[in-house]
Amino acid sequence: MSDPQIYLRVHRVAPDLCTRARQVTVADLHENTRQFAYVGLMSSRMRRVTQGHVVGPAITALCRPGDNLMMHRSLSLAQPGDVLVVVSQGETSAAQWGDIATRFAKKRGLAGVIVQGSVRDVDAVTELGFPVWATEVSPVHADKGKLGGVNIPVVCGGVLVHPGDLIAADGDGVIVIQRRHAETVIAGAEAKMRREEEVASRIEAGEMLWNLTGSSTAFDKLGAVEIDAAFDVQGMS
């Protein structure tokens, strides 16, 4: 990045879409919408550090190595329901997030935080019940003296995140959906959820999952030969 850029305003994904997205899972959002280029699943390096399922518009911060000043500036601009997305240019250089930031975030009403970089005070943050995803855990203290970026596009977990994009995160991972396409993606996820609810009801009624998923039809097409006998180790040469 060349000159530091700090934007004070964000065009956020609509609140009603966030409400709808909270009713589905990351798997629902991803599995039925993989054909869309505007859906990005963050790298598996992005791990859930504390429990939670969060959905909300992205507020972004780009921090220089060893420094979290831009995280604090973006945090000060965040609104209730926002998801803070922090990218540290030196992932292991210093912790971007800890218990004091968590206390402020909870007071402010943030939904959660996603950090490409280090977080610390994990035990305290867990007790506070605030959802955190990160690529690293480290107790190293961060300085506050370097300019970076706030509410600019960042690449986090291998995915481009624009301020205001829809962020959804749960135990399966973190997904990013471009704000202008959120309605389409969420509608697809809702349809998938309804189909799965129907399958669950049919399982309760006694039907076989093998048939409900279409596995039996796919298997028959392969022309596999099944042997009505047990495998005999002793019969091997």
Say what the pLDDT of residue 4 is: 79
Average pLDDT over residues 43-55: 97
Say what the pLDDT of residue 56 is: 98
Res 32 pLDDT > 80: no
Decide if 225 is inside a domain. Answer: no
Report helix, strand or coil for 166.
strand
Decide if 232 is inside a domain. Answer: no
Say what the pLDDT of residue 237 is: 58
Say what the pLDDT of residue 22 is: 97
pTM for the model stands at 0.91
Q: What are phi and psi for residue 127, nearest 5 degrees?
A: -65, -35
Determine the structural domain holding residue 158 and report its residue range: 5-190
Confidence tier at 45 by pLDDT (50, 70, 90): very high
Decide if 224 is inside a domain. Answer: no
Res 58 pLDDT > 70: yes
Q: Are 78 and 84 in contact (CB under 8 A)?
A: yes
Average pLDDT over residues 41-59: 97
Assign residue 18 the CATH number of its domain: 3.50.30.40
The pLDDT tens digits of the residues spanning 199-224 come to: 999 999 999 999 998 999 999 999 99
- Top pLDDT among 22 and 1 is at 22
**What rounded mean pLDDT belongs to the chain?**
94
Q: Are 189 and 32 in contact (CB under 8 A)?
A: yes
- Judged by phi (left if over 0) then psi (alpha if -120 to 50, else beta), residue 16 lies in alpha
Decide if 223 is inside a domain. Answer: no
Number of domains in the chain: 1
Look up residue 6 and give its DSSP letter.
E
The pLDDT tens digits of the residues spanning 102-122 come to: 999 999 999 999 999 999 999
Decide if 120 is inside a domain. Answer: yes
Decide if 47 is inside a domain. Answer: yes
State how beta strands 83-88 and 54-63 pair.
parallel
Decide if 219 is inside a domain. Answer: no
Confidence tier at 37 by pLDDT (50, 70, 90): low
Say what the pLDDT of residue 234 is: 79
Average pLDDT over residues 174-197: 93
Decide if 72 is inside a domain. Answer: yes
Average pLDDT over residues 70-87: 98
